[in-house]
Amino acid sequence: MFKTHRFLIVDGGMGTMLQSKGLKAGEQPELFMLKNKEVVTSVHKEYVEAGADIITTCTFGANKYKLGSDEKSREVILCAVECAKNSGAKYVALDIGPCGSLLEPIGSLTFEDAYDSFAAQVKAGVEAGADLVIVETMSDLLEIKAAILAVKENSSLPVIATMTFEKDGKTFLGTDAKTAAIALTSFGADAVGVNCSLGPEELSDVIDEFILYAGVPVAMQPNAGLPVIENGETVFKITPEEFAEKSAEKAKKGVLIFGGCCGTTPAHIKALADKLKDIEPVKLPEKHFTSFTSGRETVILDGKNSAVIGERINPTGKKKLKEALRNKNYDYVINEALNQENCGADALDVNAGLPEIDEKETLVAMVKEIQAICSLPLQIDSSDPEVVEAAVRIYNGKPIINSVNGTEDSMAKILPIVKKYGTAVVALTLDDSGIPKKAEERLRVAEKIISRAEAMGISRDDIIVDCLTLTVSTSQSAVKETLKAVTLVKEKLGVRTVLGVSNVSFGMPNRELINASFLAEAYGAGLDMPILNPLSEKYREIIAAHKVINNEDVSGKDFIEKYGNVEKMAAPVKADAKKDLKDIIISGIKGEAKSAVAELLKEKTPLQIINGYFIPALDVVGEGFEKGKMFLPQLMASAQAVKNGFEAISETMGVTTPTKGKIILATVKGDIHDIGKNIVKMLLENYGYDVIDLGRDVAPETVVKAQQESGAKLVGLSALMTTTVKSMKDTIDALKVVGADCKVMVGGAVLNEEYAQMVGADYYVSDATHSARVAAEVLKDE
């Protein structure tokens, strides 16, 4: 279908057509169809007569989340495909829209939930005899990835994948058009593009981005302009002629697949088909660039620019990160990610290779956490192919895999993952005989990997060669060979190069100086992508200078902004008088708490500091808060100061401080308003309790399981809505059924003493300080 180079015309809107044929406001078109098959078939027929090659089934919302079950979804799909076939359509496309609930982390649907639902739809579509699949109106790259994978893993049908963009050129979840074009291509869609939301004119820039960056044919199915809901009916203003005119402009620029979305009618499609008759399809030139994306943004390496990969999320040799990963403390990982982003990293390496942890579980969890918050593309770093695939599968963009090498085993296991998920990959120039000594030999290993990859249909644009940095202290003469190999590989193979920079100085004094000098020389040799610690100022200076010399930082704008005023900057003012730690906490001076605690640790034990400073200060703040003399931001500032103080204790003493007992906290099922719970958590941790935070939207059985496993004597539940207070009762009932030996405290905006009793709680807490008092009472004997 997409092999021949000609225009394909898809039909226009269905929902808006059915509105004029009896579909009521708010009624699901799929259910309307079950009762009115002939009406739906007649709409399809009108589109066939108007000139549509592809007829889209009336199944936009035919998933289990909107219809209640996979069985209902199947029933609808079988009926819809039949309706479409009965219209005499040339091709029938199974239509798949979003699940209707948002995926994690904003919503609570998991990637696997979404995949399973889409897979059931695809299987029904295959059973009914659909010719292709159109996945459309998606805002979330991860959701559309689940849908495309579901098509590819459960059928051999081609798939057109389109997303919906707003006036700012981004989807509701913040994905820009360039990223969508590149990522959708990498997921394996046969055609990619834009649908719904706006008219063809407003979407013009977005479509141009697709033409520039997509690696497969581009599709556009805009609305007939912006919808207006009048008297319960959705109406659209763009005329068929205008619609056809604006669409045809894009035909001349390279779009191949045309159609309409909401508000377009057979008249729009007819006008479009007529217009396209006089236009010759444009063949787009082949595109050559190396790219990788996050769910929001894209990095492109075209050989003229460079990009920095942050190396800090790798537990090797990092005590604090190791500790954090062991405790599943992903806040630490998130902070590492954001700090590197703020220091100018363009992508982040993510590694969870620790012997004592479950690498697969940890890497997947880290990728989920980071991609939810950080805008940078990730480099999935593991030597275990199973771990790599698990992490790549749930990644919401086009990642880099780190890495494949020239051994048969590695190529056989990693390259299929690269191919299947359309990732970029780092290729290490080593093979069964180790790292070759000579640059020319490393070139040959790179050549071998590339030709193997190309034979599998992987473009060399997606291969980034690592010529491997050796250390000056053990292999001094080899360091120059690496640089020579970088130049050779780049020139002879036309690929991008990557190097880990920091190891070169291993075993030497003033490592930063050697590292920075090596970086400068590597840039000179043609390095495109260093892997380094972006928090190092020395590196950042070299990178900034390189970007000026390399003509990337045009007119040295960034450089001047950064270094132009250095001399004028005043030295930071040193705090004059030493403040008492208690005052620091009460005033919420977060930045000074750590050093004050470190100072005190010279003469006092951690417990003396906790009981003599932290708790008395928190009590003062708590009392002020309850009396309305201090306010929530101040309470949080003081809590943060204490938290920083605890960090100083664990850093200085190398121990975790003794705990006063375990407390489980959860925001109950159905509720996602968790800030109250998080405030409580912070304060309870301040007071020295070990808080097991189960998060939000937590099922009763999860709370029960955690209580039984941990033996926590106190459980805190929060809910904000009247509808979710019921989940609170269900959770407390579930705890009672198993005879859990614990007290329950509840809090949240709609609760009071009376409601708390009604749901069966032992305590009602009005705010965080109140919860600390309850904890003290319940856990006094721990």
Partner 1 sequence: MRDLDKDILYCLGYGNNLPDDRTKSLIEKVKTEALPKLKPRAVHGTFQKNMLNFSGKDIEEHLNGAEQCILFAVTLGAESERLFSIYQRTDMEKAVIFDAVCDAFVEAFADEYCDNLLKEYREKGLYINTRYSPGYGDFNIEYQKEFISLLNCQRSIGLTANDSSVLIPRKSITAVMGIFTSPPQGKTKGCAACNMNSTCKMKGKGKCLKHTDF
DSSP symbol at 497: E
* Helix, coil or strand: residue 84: helix
Which DSSP string corresponds to 634-669?
HHHHHHHHHHHHHHHHHHHH-SPPP-S-EEEEEEBT
Q: Tell me the backbone φ, ψ of residue 281, rounded to 5 degrees.
A: -60, 140
Which residues, 6+ apart, have CB-to-CB distance to 159 below 8 Å? 132, 133, 134, 135, 148, 151, 152, 188, 189, 190, 191
**In angstroms, rounded to a whole number, what is the distance separating the alpha carbons of residues 373 and 661?**
32
Q: Which of 106, 456, 575, 607 binds partner 1 (CB under 8 A)?
A: 106
Q: Which of 40, 196, 321, 390 binds partner 1 (CB under 8 A)?
A: 196
Q: How far is the CB of 636 from partner 1 (least distance, A)?
A: 4
- In terms of Cα–Cα distance, which of 680, 678, 695 is closest to 105? 695
675 binds partner 1 (CB under 8 A): yes
Which residues, 6+ apart, have CB-to-CB distance to 39 below 8 Å? 18, 21, 22, 32, 33
**In angstroms, rounded to a whole number, what is the distance separating the alpha carbons of residues 345 and 366?**
18
Residue 198 or 458: the one with the smaller Cβ distance to partner 1 is 198
Q: Which of 105, 507, 591, 616 binds partner 1 (CB under 8 A)?
A: 105
222 binds partner 1 (CB under 8 A): no
Q: Which of 36, 42, 86, 108 binds partner 1 (CB under 8 A)?
A: 108
**In angstroms, rounded to a whole number, what is the distance separating the alpha carbons of residues 402 and 500?**
11
474 binds partner 1 (CB under 8 A): no
Residue 230 or 603: the one with the smaller Cβ distance to partner 1 is 230
Q: How many CB atoms lie within 10 A of CB 441?
A: 16
Contact 669, 618 (CB under 8 A): no
Per rule CB under 8 A, count of chain residues that contact partner 1: 66
Q: How far is the CB of 727 from partner 1 (least distance, A)?
A: 7
Residue 267 or 672: the one with the smaller Cβ distance to partner 1 is 672
Residue 600 or 639: the one with the smaller Cβ distance to partner 1 is 639
Q: Given the structure tokens 């787009």, which residue do they identify?
A: 284
338 binds partner 1 (CB under 8 A): yes
Residue 152 or 770: the one with the smaller Cβ distance to partner 1 is 770
Contact 468, 438 (CB under 8 A): no
**In angstroms, rounded to a whole number, what is the distance separating the alpha carbons of residues 404 and 529?**
17
Contact 131, 91 (CB under 8 A): yes
Residue 55 or 636: the one with the smaller Cβ distance to partner 1 is 636
Residue 263 or 422: the one with the smaller Cβ distance to partner 1 is 263
Residue 284 or 338: the one with the smaller Cβ distance to partner 1 is 338
Angle between helix 439-455 and helix 472-493 axes, rounded to 10 deg: 50
- Each residue 433-462 as x (binds partner 1 by CB under 8 A) or -, in order, gives ------------------------------
Q: Which of residues 234-263 bind partner 1 (CB under 8 A)?
A: 234, 262
Q: How far is the CB of 307 from partner 1 (least distance, A)?
A: 23
Could you tell me whether strands 463-466 and 424-428 are parallel, antiparallel, or unpaired per DSSP bridges? parallel
169 binds partner 1 (CB under 8 A): no
DSSP symbol at 56: E
Residue 196 or 450: the one with the smaller Cβ distance to partner 1 is 196
Q: Which stretch binds partner 1 (CB under 8 A): 303-311, 355-363, 646-654, 676-684?
A: 676-684
Residue 11 or 481: the one with the smaller Cβ distance to partner 1 is 11
Q: Tell me the backbone φ, ψ of residue 587, rounded to 5 degrees.
A: -85, -5
Q: Which of residues 574-633 bind partner 1 (CB under 8 A)?
A: 587-588, 590, 628, 631-633
- Each residue 677-696 as x (binds partner 1 by CB under 8 A) or -, in order, gives -xx--x--------------
Q: Could you tell me the two tokens for 95?
A: 């239509």
**In angstroms, rounded to a whole number, what is the distance separating the alpha carbons of residues 315 and 367?**
15
758 binds partner 1 (CB under 8 A): no
**In angstroms, rounded to a whole number, what is the distance separating the alpha carbons of residues 423 and 235?**
42
Q: Which stretch binds partner 1 (CB under 8 A): 2-10, 101-109, 177-185, 606-614?
A: 101-109
Residue 185 or 638: the one with the smaller Cβ distance to partner 1 is 638
* Helix, coil or strand: residue 368: helix
63 binds partner 1 (CB under 8 A): no
Q: How far is the CB of 622 from partner 1 (least distance, A)?
A: 14
- Each residue 708-747 as x (binds partner 1 by CB under 8 A) or -, in order, gives -------------xxxx--x--------------------
* Helix, coil or strand: residue 87: coil
Q: Which of 161, 751, 778, 779 binds partner 1 (CB under 8 A)?
A: 751
- In terms of Cα–Cα distance, which of 416, 420, 376, 419 is closest to 397? 376
Interface with partner 1 (CB under 8 A): 24-26, 98, 100-102, 105-108, 137, 139, 164, 166, 168, 172-174, 196-197, 227-232, 234, 262, 331, 334-335, 338, 372-373, 587-588, 590, 628, 631-634, 636-637, 639-640, 669-673, 675, 678-679, 682, 721-724, 727, 749-752, 754
